Amino acid sequence: MHTAIDLKVFYFGTPVVLITTRNPDGSTNIGPMSSAWWLGTTCMLGMNDSSRTARNMLRERECVLNLPSAEQAAPVNRIALVTGEPEVPEHKIARGYTHEPDKFGAAGLTEQESEIVGAARILECPVQIECAVVDAGPFFRPGITAFQADTRRVHVDEDLVIPGTDYVDPLKWDPLIMKFCEYFGEGQPVHSSELARGWRMPHHMGEPEHLRAPAPAG
């Protein structure tokens, strides 16, 4: 039986994307996000205008879409509640955000030079897509922008490629999925989520049970 509810969050499960963009000083910012989907080789990205990522994409008209696997939940979580913007907006302060100019250092991730785009790629991400931002327009409500990012070059960890083809093996690729602000891989929770804490989600998952440290003896 179904029940009609006033659903508060519609994040049913989408891949986490770490968008790298070039800052005005030439350094690279990382923006974790998950409102992303592809049609053919073009990606639709929904970003809050107050993010450094949205501002960088509007100015530079390019970005890299780095796709972490479930193994990278910890570094993603380390930069869940920080922004590259020096002026942290009120709504983010209320959720616990702080300013972090060095996202690579804070996450413990490694910069890898891109071939086309000015921003660096993220070495640890098995899939990296260099893109041109070809369109941007209003979406949902004021303060949100839908970006259209066209693929310019794709880099994939060779262990994930079906030998002799240009296809990723779906049995080998385990994307990090964001579901109701929690991190999942292969249908299972993989890490505690600062985002869920900041958003005050009601499920109180914390650290997944199978990953919790055993209670000290005695």
- The amino acid occupying position 136 is A
Asked if 73 and 190 touch (Cβ cutoff 8 Å), the reply is: yes
Q: Is 203 helix (H, G, I), strand (E, B) or coil?
A: coil
Between residues 137 and 214, which has the closer beta carbon with respect to ligand FMN? 137
Q: How far is the CB of 117 from ligand FMN (least distance, A)?
A: 16
Between residues 89 and 161, which has the closer beta carbon with respect to ligand FMN? 89
Q: How far is the CB of 127 from ligand FMN (least distance, A)?
A: 16
Q: How far is the CB of 182 from ligand FMN (least distance, A)?
A: 9
Q: How far is the CB of 21 from ligand FMN (least distance, A)?
A: 8
Between residues 83 and 192, which has the closer beta carbon with respect to ligand FMN? 83
Q: Is 68 helix (H, G, I), strand (E, B) or coil?
A: coil
Two tokens at 6? 């006033």
* Sign of the torsion formed by the C-alpha atoms of 7, 8, 13 and 15: positive
Which residues of this chain interact with ligand FMN, rule CB under 6 A? 16, 29, 31-35, 46-48, 51-53, 80, 83-85, 178, 195
Specify the DSSP class assigned to residue 161. B
